[in-house]
A = this chain, B = another copy of it.
Amino acid sequence: MGGEIKRQITLDHGSGGLKTRELIEGLFLKRLNNPFLSNLEDSATLELNQGRIAFTTDSYVVDPISFPGGDIGSLSVHGTINDLAMKGAWPVALSLSFVLEEGFFFDELDQILASIELASKKAGVPIVTGDTKVVPRGKGDKIFINTSGIGIIPDGVDVGYHRIQSGDVIIVSGSVGDHGVTILTRREGLGFSGDLKSDTMALHGLVKTLIEELGPDLHCLRDPTRGGVATVLVELAERTGLSMEVDEESIPIRDEVKGATEILGLDPLYIANEGKLIAWVSEGSAKRAVEIMRQRIEGKEANIIGRVLDGKDARVTLNTIVGGKRAIYALTGNPLPRIC
């Protein structure tokens, strides 16, 4: 039994009693303290100006919980901020709820909290309320995180699929597939190595600039997370009834992503991203939109990848590099590596 004993979460840490308080005060508040949270009230009161607010939720169950470029903590902050930003909302507050597995290490939790702290500070979006539960060993998987978020939608801002129209230009803010391939190649057994990192990143700053600069010419925004770029395109084509086309050669894809997806027989267009957005912009503003994006770190590899067509058959066409065409369809289930 030699060596230092690392402290671990026990069921008591989820009891709501002293052990829970010990955890919150000894660990969480050290990292996340702010006037809202230090109350330790179950709800946070927010003084908001009038106007519309956006409200979103996501649970994060990523495995492995830590990976090059981030961890489940930063992911859970960025993901929810991005969901708000995609509505044109300025994120103002996040909630944070943990389901911890009995036996999870304090050290690991603290690392994740550090990463949440950093992400929240960098983004300028406070976590204003939270919750912690512990489940017995074997009834969870180290840590699950839910973040919910509230954002304010500035007056006059209206982005959404209802504003997409024929002629709109489709822009992606950077390279595609980095997050999903990073996760995939870090799983046990595949034995990949390389310099690839998750792209996990908050995009509300980029969105704010786009809104300010493009005004009503910014029609719709989407973060291509689970299901990837392909799934987003298909979904919006179906929802708008409009056809769209994208050019394979204009889609930024890192070499490592190409390498891994070719080996595993996967299509990078179906791989998750966590720091990218797709924007539908009116034709006249498209070039400027790309320029604006490229001036910011979040969008420095932004590119026009396609356009909305006149056709009303809700199809998405990919113009392939070699000059061919094919349809893009929605993802069916989790992409699996294949050998044939």
Contact = CB atoms under 8 A, between A and B. Distances in A.
Interface of A: 10-12, 14-21, 41-61, 63, 83-84, 86-87, 89, 93, 95-99, 128-131, 133, 135-136, 138-141, 144, 146, 148-151, 153, 160, 223, 225-227, 231, 272, 330-335
A136 to B, nearest CB: 8
A25 to B, nearest CB: 12
A54 B59 contact: no
Contact of A95 (B48, B57, B128): B57
A177 B281 CA distance: 57
Contact of A49 (B19, B20, B50): B50
A57 B15 contact: no
B87 A43 contact: yes
B42 A48 contact: no
Contacts of A225: 16
A117 to B, nearest CB: 18
A95 B61 contact: no
Contacts of A41: 87, 160
Given A15-B227, A139-B141, A225-B16, A52 B57 contact: no
B331 A15 contact: yes
A17 B330 contact: yes
Of listed A51, A148, A335, residue having the most chain B CB within 10 A: A148
Contacts of A42: 56, 58, 83, 86-87, 223
B45 A87 contact: yes
Of listed A45, A52, A93, A225, residue having the most chain B CB within 10 A: A45
